Each structure stands twice: as structure tokens, then as C-alpha cells.
Chain A
Amino acid sequence: MMSYVAFIATIGGIYALLALSLNLVWGSTGLVNLGLAGFFAVGAYASAITTGAGAPIPVGLLAAVAGSIAAGLLVTFATLRLRDDYLAIVTLGFAEVVRLVAVNERWLTNGADGISGIRAPFKQTFGPQGFDLFYFGLVSIFVVLVWFVLRRIDLSPYGRTLKAIREDQELAAFAGKSVLRFKFEAFALSAAIAGLAGALYGHQQSYISPDHFQPLITIYIFLAVTAGGVGRPVGAVAGAYVVVVFLETTRFVAAVVPGLEPVQIASVREMLVGAALILVLRLKPQGILPERILKAPRPT
């Protein structure tokens, strides 16, 4: 039981990192990333492959970050100059292509069978149960660190510029901000965080396959960010834990209803996720912890 709670809480932390990543581009900068699952996958595979080749785990994490930044540049270089809906289409396609590559390039990713035996740090030292607790702590430290950095950004002039771009990019450009550069940087940083989350996920599961990175994950994270509070890092983190609890609850609820086939149970759960996202968008688009808009200082 303890182990189950620690395991779920770790998943919550990984989703919190993804939610922080999405909140930076979507909440603060107003860019959409429908390919979050793709960046998550790139990070997981990059770290699994490099540590599998013998590199230590910190190097794996760095590889994950570098890999997802590179992927972020690939999807943004053609699209950031254009209207926002193009980025939506391209990022969605990107996640699909990542999955295709993971399925097809067996020499690199072992195809649909996935990569197993990914190194789990200190698993021998702590034993299986201790490892779950240790890993929960590790992921939580990353969540706090990333949250802290993003909160600093959020409150800094840099963060205000991102929000100005979100509200009115012509105006931001007119005020002398290089809109394109800010968008590139925000997207790259966001991709890096998603990649880091992927790497942490891989080392927790010790097994990854293309099926782990369904587009559904992106929807979970959109649900987390919109429910928690768009544009406020702490809201995104809270939303992520709420979503994980919600997902686990639907698992139990669906199992209680008698006479359903497994495929029907799975479809009811996905329906609930979709319906929840629609409801949040409709009823409380600013989330549980809405963005705080500070008053402009009075000129003295």
C-alpha cells in the first residue's frame, strides 16, 4: 500500500513537471504544444539509450534535456513566425512522428517491444520498497526546483514579457521586445522540462515502449494545467496531482460497474477525461488557483 502511494505520488510529480512545462508555453506565453507526449518520449528514450550504453544517470538526464531542446527547435523553426493554429497542427504531428520512429527504428529503440532494464538509481541499495520512497523524494526535489525557477521567471521582467506576448504580441514587439526570440526560448525551456520528466519516468518504470507515450498524456496535462490554473506554476503542480488522483479514482469506479468488458472500462475512463477537460474549459477556464495579476506600480 505504502509502495502504491509512493508510486502514484511519483507519477504525480512527473505529471507536475509536464504541467510546469506546458504552463510555461501555454499559460505564460500563449503558445500551444499538442505534442507534449512527444517531448516526454524523446526525453525518456534519450536517457534510456545513453545510460543503456553505459553513461551515468546524470549524463542521461542531460542527454534527455538536450534531445528535447533539439526536437523543440525542429518543430518551432518553421512555425513560430506563423499564426498560432499552425503550431497546434505541427506539434500534434510531431508527437505522432516520435511514436512512429520509436516503433520503426528497432536498432535504436527496440521497436514496439520497447527498452527494458533501464537503470534505476540506488535500487540495490534501498531495495524495491525503499527505492519507491527514494524515487518519490528525488522526483519531488526536481518538481520543487523547476517550480522555483519557473516562479522566479514568472515574477521577473522576463516572465512579464512572456505574458505581454501572450496578451498582445504586436504591442510587445512595439515595446521593443524581440517576440520571436522570447517564444523560441520559452518553447525550448518548456521542451527541456518535458524531456527531463520523460527521463525521470523511464528510470522509474525501468521499461519504456511506444505505448507509454500515447497522445492521451498530452490531454491529461492540458487538463492538469487548465484545472490548476493557467499561467501560475503552483496551479499547474496542484492540477497535476489532482489529475493523477482523478485518473486513479476513475480506475476504481470503472471497475465497480458490473458487466463491462475491459475495453469498455478503458473507454469510459477516457470519456471521463475528455468530459472533465471540456467542463473545466467551460466552467472555470482560469482554474482553481487563477493567475494573480499584479497592479502596475504607480509612477512616483
Chain B
Amino acid sequence: MSVLTTILQALLNGVMTGTLIAIPAIGFTAIFAVLRYPSFTVAAYTTIGAFAAWYANVRFGIGVVPGLLVAAVAAGAIGVLAEEKILGPLRPAGALTTAIGSIALNLVLENVIRFGSGNDLKGFDLPLYPDMRFAGLRVGTQQIENLILSVGVMALVFVFLRYTRFGRAMRAVADNADLARLKGIDPRRIAMVAVALGAALAGIGGVLLGLDTSIDPLTGYRILLSVFAAAVLGGLGSVPGAIVGALSIGIVEELALLVVPATYRSAIGFVAILLMLTFRPRGLLGERAA
């Protein structure tokens, strides 16, 4: 394989990885934009979505698209419940306290799943298709399907934020919470909408990741650093930024893996975060960071 083909293949893989990370990254950044704390529970929401869809698939033979719906509802419902009962009451104590609470909650949820399922890897019960090849490049049929699905989900999110009342209210709160309240937007309700959206997206992302490989209780935690990297690269709190950030981190990871061992994958996200924060802390598309 020529050098050019290798690089093209890495770029292609990077776009595929990037679109997978983009969905939970949008979820993380949406929660951050409205509630103003980094929610580490996004990892658990991702895993919950993956397990909900996997259960529906293996038990009831449900296909991919209804599976995504199951994941979104399950993760979204847990997210709303968690915010209402556990994380919301911590918010008056400050963003960092809430963030620490979200780590503790993540630990609890992750272990609830581990209690039920053990640590074994689980795969979806779906027909296998051979990889497609063109011009010396190789791409999995499942990857193409995932790409289409995640672009579809992104389009839905865009329509929601752009054209619906709740979507517009969410953007208003993210932009200026005080002004939004003055305009009669109930911050509590919008917080719930943001968490429901964010957790549901994380859950959908979990399914897409699971379709790509397999799932286990650490599915969400393992991609957490890449999700953070995507959100920071794009600018914390910016939805388009999360997409751009996820694509960049996907491509950077795959290109870097040409020269460093594959086990260092999540370290690349860390280095990307450090470099970004050193030279352009507000990210590619974000607002202020200080």
C-alpha cells in the first residue's frame, strides 16, 4: 500500500471515528452550555444507551433505528431523573461540586450495569456484511451505516435547536441565562430539556459505538477523554464546535496512530486538549474561556 493510500485510509477512518464521537460530544456540550458544569455522567449515559439498545436487540430482535430510539429514551429518562433528584440539588454549591457529584453518580450507574451484566464484552446480533473496497481503500458496511445514522441525528439536533420552541429557548439560556429568565423562560424546564437532549444523544452515541465494536460497562468511560477533547477543541458549549472538534480529534487520532502505538489513542486526545488550551483556549468555534 502506498504512503498516500495509507494516509487517505487514516483520514477516512478519522472521519468515521469523528462522527461517532460527535454525538456524545454534542450531548456533553449541550449540557454544559445550559447547566454550566462539565457532566462526567455523560460516560454512564453513553453506556446505558448502548445496553438498552443491546438488550432490545438481543431479547426482542429490534433493529438498529428503533434501537437508537430505545437508547435515547432510556438514557434521556435516566438523565432527567439524575438531574432532578441528584445533580440538580448540588448545583447551588457550584459547578465544581456538581462536577464531582457527576463523577460519583457515574461510578454508581456504571456499577449498576456491571452488577447486572458482568465485565464481558457483548456484541449486537446483526447480520455481517463484507467490507467495501474502492481505489485501495477499505471501509466497513457498518461504518457507512453509522456515518449515515449520525449525520441524520445531527440534522435532527440542528432542526430541534433551530426551529422548535424548546430548542430556541435552550440557545437563549445558553447565550444569556439572566436575559432568558427576564423573557419568561423557565430555567428549570430548559435545564431538563438540555439534560434530556444531552443524555439521549450520549445514549445514541453509545449504540453507534457498540455497533462498531462491542459493549461493556466501560464503553462510555473509554471514550470520555475523546469526547472532552472534541468539546474543548470545538469550544466548550458550542454545538457546531463539538462536531468540528469531534471530526478533528478523530482525524488527528488516526493520523497520530500511524506513528505512535494504538494503545496511546486516548493520550492523543489529552495532548490535543493541552495544545488547544495553550494556544487558543476558547476552541475553534467557542466563546470566552477565562
Partner-B contacts on A (CB < 8 A)? 30, 32, 34, 74-75, 77-79, 81-86, 88-90, 92-94, 96-97, 100-101, 103-104, 216, 219, 222, 226, 261, 263-264, 266-268, 270-271, 273-275, 277-278, 281-282, 285
Contacts and interface: CB of A to CB of B under 8 A. Distances in A.
B101 A278 contact: yes
A32 B99 contact: yes
Interface residues of B, number: 47
A132 to B, nearest CB: 31
B119 interface: yes
B97 interface: yes
Contacts of B107: 216, 219, 270-271, 273-274
Interface stretch (B128-136, B157-165, B186-194, B258-266): B258-266
A84 B290 CA distance: 9
Given A78-B274, A90-B273, A96-B270, A285 B93 contact: yes
Interface of B: 32, 37-38, 40, 86, 89-90, 93, 95-97, 99-101, 103-108, 110-112, 114-115, 118-119, 224-225, 228-229, 232, 236, 261, 263-264, 266-267, 269-270, 273-274, 277-278, 281, 289-290
Contacts of B95: 84-85
Nearest to B217: A267
Nearest to B278: A78
Contacts of A96: 225, 266-267, 270
A90 B107 CA distance: 19
A104 B104 contact: no
Contacts of A93: 225, 228-229, 266, 269-270, 273
B97 A281 contact: yes
Q: Which 3 A-B pairs have the closest CB atoms?
A: A274-B107, A274-B108, A277-B104
B273 A89 contact: yes
A64 B275 CA distance: 26
Most chain B beta-carbon neighbours within 10 Å: one of A30, A79, A274: A274
Contact of B99 (A85, A267, A268): A85
- Judged by DSSP, the binding face of A is helix
A82 B96 contact: no
A88 B96 contact: yes
Contacts of B119: 263
A77 to B, nearest CB: 8
A48 B43 CA distance: 34
Given A89-B232, A264-B115, A94 B270 contact: yes
Given A93-B270, A274-B111, A34 B103 contact: yes
Nearest to B112: A271
Contact of A97 (B97, B110, B261, B267): B267
A190 to B, nearest CB: 15
Nearest to A101: B267
B263 A104 contact: yes
Contacts of A34: 103
Contacts of B266: 93, 96-97, 100
Nearest to A223: B104
Contact of B289 (A82, A275, A281): A82
Nearest to B106: A274
11 contacts: A78-B277, A85-B96, A88-B96, A89-B38, A92-B228, A97-B267, A222-B100, A270-B107, A271-B111, A273-B107, A278-B104
